[in-house]
Chains A and B, each alone.
Chain A
Amino acid sequence: MAVDLSVNIGDLFLKNPVMTASGTFGYGLEFADFIPLEALGGIIVKGTTLHPREGNPYPRMVETPQGMLNCVGLQNKGVDYFCSHIYPQIKDINTNMIVNVSGSCPEDYAECAERINELECIPAIELNISCPNVKQGGMAFGVTAEGAASVVKAVRAVYDKTLIVKLSPNVTDIAGIARSVEDAGADAVSLINTLMGMVIDIERRRPVLSISTGGLSGPAVRPIAVRMVWQVAQAVKIPVVGLGGIMNARDAVEFLLAGASAIEIGTANFIDPTVTLKVIRGIEDYLERHGCRSVREIIGAMEC
């Protein structure tokens, strides 16, 4: 008998728990030659802001041991452009197309979310209160319980579909922040965003990245992400979406066992553009091997 891979994130139905992480999968279209996009549980598109953003200067990327740092800085053409030019191209992709929303004050987040609320084929947003690469806002909100709650409240007031809030790992008490976001009305939390890091070019005695620091992603961050997902899953009642360094099905199952109801794959798409399909198949194999009928049986099923 075929195993059931479907999961729910609040009211959102996912045919399987595998989504792609914002900023690593473009608008999905960039990967359409490699995989059938409708095979995914969801696609979380590029970070979108109320106003257009040029992003940070080049260089924006440096490779690190088992990972990379980036300081893209939310380059995007703004929510109006998204609605008029990009939405028409992606609205018929038969999976959950989720927009990652960023801003520099609660009002901007709310206005951006309100616009996206009107788009029929966008069933959810992921609020990015955790970007380490922009000067004002972004992570500033995500590092205090009050800041996080203020953004979520402002958005909740105008947004009535599924609201996922993406948490920053650059904090001392991630469970506390998750609880405050839950109390403020989030339907789910996702974690982790990138960890703040830095690389120095020792010959030139300068930072490699244009703004000195950047966000670390890839397998290097995975044990931290698993720990945080586990802590948050115990602290909140809303579903948790886990990500950070997932490279294969084993890694994905690790997050599910830690308490994630779904997972996102980011940096791994750069190394293998077909990795998401392999992870879906690998989760299915794991479930069959372990005699499970549904992926829901392994969510939070770690024994300790």
Chain B
Amino acid sequence: MRKYVLDLTLKSNERLREGYFLLKLTDGNPLPPMEPGQFAELKVDGSETTFLRRPISINYVDEQQNEVWFLVHEVGDGTRRLGTLVAGDRLNVVLPLGHGFTMPSSASERYLLVGGGVGTAPLLYMGKRMAEAGCRPTFLLGGRSAGDLMQLDMFRALGDVCITTEDGSAGERGFVTHHSVLSAASFDRIAVCGPKPMMKAVAAYARSKGTECEVSLENMMACGVGACLCCVEKTTEGHVCVCKEGPVFNINRLLWQ
């Protein structure tokens, strides 16, 4: 897919909860096509300590409003600086980058989308595209407590939503892999995005069931376009660039056990 460098305009910056914000950006021209699971490289201006761009998943694309959304967790200077942007500000982005999730092969495919923390971000757009294709996915979303779960109304409009929290304040208590839906239902395909231990646990579940499973990796990146070979993951075919061949990988390609 063709990649673009764009100076987008910020429409809104909304605090979804402490430490997390949602950027909605637009452009004078129609935004380019983007696939769920792809990401953008955001240029951070005005942070002394942030030299490289920051990779952030495409959270949602609203074609009617000509908007692309980014859901960001503040973890350091770069993301904190992005959190100070206000409506009307410009943000330079390179997008769309990488390869996203495999779309269902038919409308009847039973597709489970598992997300933890800010890893739920790309699943929203995936859910939207699946709904457009006539599919109703099951979302399995995990957090530490009820307040951690974001964009729930939108997820509920697109599919069935299962929730786990570690403190039991919403949904079932425990980790996503403890949720009863995993034993009650069976799935043809699973996609996961979240902390690595969570992705590994879901991958182990998928393997035990023989279910196709894709995970989204977050290796440290410099160029984001497959030019520098900094972001590699060791796979069955040797070192491959996460930014170009991923960030989404079928677990069979990875050396996770």
Q: Is B239's CB within 8 Å of the partner chain A?
A: yes
Q: Is A6's CB within 8 Å of the partner chain B?
A: no
Q: Tell me which residues across on chain B come within 8 A of A59, comparing CB atoms.
A: 219-220
Segment touching A, from B45-53, B150-158, B178-186: B45-53
Q: Contact partner of B228 among A58, A72, A272, CB < 8 A?
A: A72
- Asked whether B220 lies within 8 Å of A70 as measured between CB atoms, the reply is no
- Asked whether B222 lies within 8 Å of A33 as measured between CB atoms, the reply is no
Q: Tell me which residues across on chain B come within 8 A of A60, comparing CB atoms.
A: 229-232
Cβ-closest chain A residue relative to B225: A30
Measured CA separation A268–B151 after assembly (Å): 36
Measured CA separation A25–B223 after assembly (Å): 9
Question: Secondary structure of the B side of the interface?
Answer: loop
Q: How far apart are A273's CB and chain B's nearest CB, in angstroms?
A: 6
Q: Contact partner of A24 among B4, B50, B228, CB < 8 A?
A: B228
- Asked whether B51 lies within 8 Å of A271 as measured between CB atoms, the reply is yes
Q: Tell me which residues across on chain A come within 8 A of B53, comparing CB atoms.
A: 270-271
- Asked whether B51 lies within 8 Å of A70 as measured between CB atoms, the reply is no
Contact with B along A193-221 (1 / 0, CB 8 A): 00000000000000000000000001000
- Asked whether A33 lies within 8 Å of B230 as measured between CB atoms, the reply is no
Q: How far apart are B230's CB and chain A's nearest CB, in angstroms?
A: 4
Q: Contact partner of A34 among B5, B43, B232, CB < 8 A?
A: B5
Q: Tell me which residues across on chain A come within 8 A of B233, comparing CB atoms.
A: 58
Q: Is B195's CB within 8 Å of the partner chain A?
A: no
- Asked whether B220 lies within 8 Å of A270 as measured between CB atoms, the reply is no
Cβ-closest chain A residue relative to B76: A63
Q: Is A269's CB within 8 Å of the partner chain B?
A: yes
Q: How far apart are B50's CB and chain A's nearest CB, in angstroms?
A: 8
Contact with A along B1-13 (1 / 0, CB 8 A): 0111100000000
Cβ-closest chain A residue relative to B227: A26
Q: Is B234's CB within 8 Å of the partner chain A?
A: yes
Q: Tell me which residues across on chain B come within 8 A of A54, comparing CB atoms.
A: 238-239
Q: Is B98's CB within 8 Å of the partner chain A?
A: no
- Asked whether B52 lies within 8 Å of A68 as measured between CB atoms, the reply is yes
Q: Which of A31, A46, A58 is packed against the most chain B CB atoms within 10 Å?
A: A58
Q: Is A23's CB within 8 Å of the partner chain B?
A: yes
Measured CA separation A58–B224 after assembly (Å): 15
Q: Contact partner of B52 among A270, A273, A274, CB < 8 A?
A: A270
Q: Is B174's CB within 8 Å of the partner chain A?
A: no
Cβ-closest chain A residue relative to B48: A65
Q: Is A75's CB within 8 Å of the partner chain B?
A: yes
Measured CA separation A23–B234 after assembly (Å): 19
Q: Which of A50-104 contact B (CB under 8 A)?
A: 54-55, 57-68, 70, 72, 75
Q: Contact partner of B226 among A30, A64, A271, A272, CB < 8 A?
A: A30
Q: Tell me which residues across on chain B come within 8 A of A33, comparing CB atoms.
A: 2-4
Measured CA separation A232–B74 after assembly (Å): 46
Q: Which of B12-69 contact A (CB under 8 A)?
A: 43, 49-53
Measured CA separation A267–B234 after assembly (Å): 24
Q: How far apart are A53's CB and chain B's nearest CB, in angstroms?
A: 10
Measured CA separation A191–B70 after assembly (Å): 40
- Asked whether A61 lies within 8 Å of B220 as measured between CB atoms, the reply is yes
Q: Tell me which residues across on chain A come within 8 A of B227, comparing CB atoms.
A: 24-26, 30-31, 269-270
Q: How far apart are A16's CB and chain B's nearest CB, in angstroms?
A: 21
Q: How far apart are B105's CB and chain A's nearest CB, in angstroms?
A: 29
Q: Tell me which residues across on chain A come within 8 A of B228, comparing CB atoms.
A: 23-24, 26, 61, 70, 72, 270
Q: Is B94's CB within 8 Å of the partner chain A?
A: yes
Contact with A along B152-193 (1 / 0, CB 8 A): 000000000000000000000000000000000000000000
13 interchain pairs, CB-CB under 8 A: A24-B223, A24-B227, A55-B239, A58-B231, A61-B230, A68-B222, A70-B222, A70-B230, A75-B229, A271-B51, A273-B5, A273-B94, A273-B225
Q: Which residues of B contact A (CB under 8 A)?
A: 2-5, 43, 49-53, 94, 219-234, 238-239, 244
